[in-house]
């Protein structure tokens, strides 16, 4: 079955540590996205990538980094520079032509 997988489902991090969230898709989509969702709020765009080896900052990129070495994969690293990283992180993909985005199940990150 085609879809998007994110791992892990839950992630706990100590302050000062970098963590990497995984996102993989087998939909053959060119575009991939990372969003952050805080409780009771909508989604905010962190980074997006339209093609391999290319990505752009979204609205809240500070403290995050990404890579796009393969079409199927778009990992997100939450660095120690992110002041308030506790949130729900959603990865999405699309053809890139303006149609709907398909979302993964999300990763819930908690900083201890």
Partner 1 sequence: AQKITQTQPGMFVQEKEAVTLDCTYDTSDPSYGLFWYKQPSSGEMIFLIYQGSYDQQNATEGRYSLNFQKARKSANLVISASQLGDSAMYFCAMRALSGGYNKLIFGAGTRLAVHP
Q: Restricting to residues 1-30, which ones interact with partner 1 according to CB under 8 A?
A: none
- Choice from 34, 48, 64, 74 touching partner 1 (CB under 8 A): 48
Residue carrying structure tokens 């690293």: 77
- Choice from 46, 66, 76, 90 touching partner 1 (CB under 8 A): 90
Q: Is 56 in the site for partner 1 (CB under 8 A)?
A: yes
CB atoms closer than 10 angstroms to residue 64 = 21
Nearest residue (CB) to partner 1, 18 versus 59: 59
Min dist CB 16 to partner 1, Å, is 27
Those residues with Cβ within 8 angstroms of residue 60's Cβ, 6 or more apart along the chain or in another chain = 36, 44, 45, 46
Please answer whether residues 35 and 92 qualify as being in contact, where contact means their C-beta atoms are separated by less than 8 angstroms: yes
Nearest residue (CB) to partner 1, 28 versus 56: 56
Rounded-to-5 percentages of helix, strand, coil across the chain? 0, 50, 50
Please give the Cα distance from 69 to 78 (Å, whole number): 18
Residues lying near partner 1 in the complex (CB under 8 A) are found at 31, 33, 40-45, 48, 50, 56, 58, 88, 90, 92, 94, 96-106, 108
């Amino acid at each position: 079955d085609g879809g998007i997988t994110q791992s892990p489902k839950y992630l706990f991090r100590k302050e000062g540590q970098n963590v990497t969230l995984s996102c993989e898709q087998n939909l053959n989509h060119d575009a991939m996205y990372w969003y952050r969702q805080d409780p009771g709020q909508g989604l905010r765009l962190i980074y997006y990538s339209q093609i391999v080896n290319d990505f752009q900052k979204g609205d809240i990129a500070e403290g995050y980094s990404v890579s796009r070495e393969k079409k199927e994969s778009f990992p997100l690293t939450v660095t120690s520079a992110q002041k308030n990283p506790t949130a729900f992180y959603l990865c999405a993909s699309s053809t890139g032509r303006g149609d709907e985005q398909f979302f993964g199940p999300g990763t819930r990150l908690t900083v201890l």
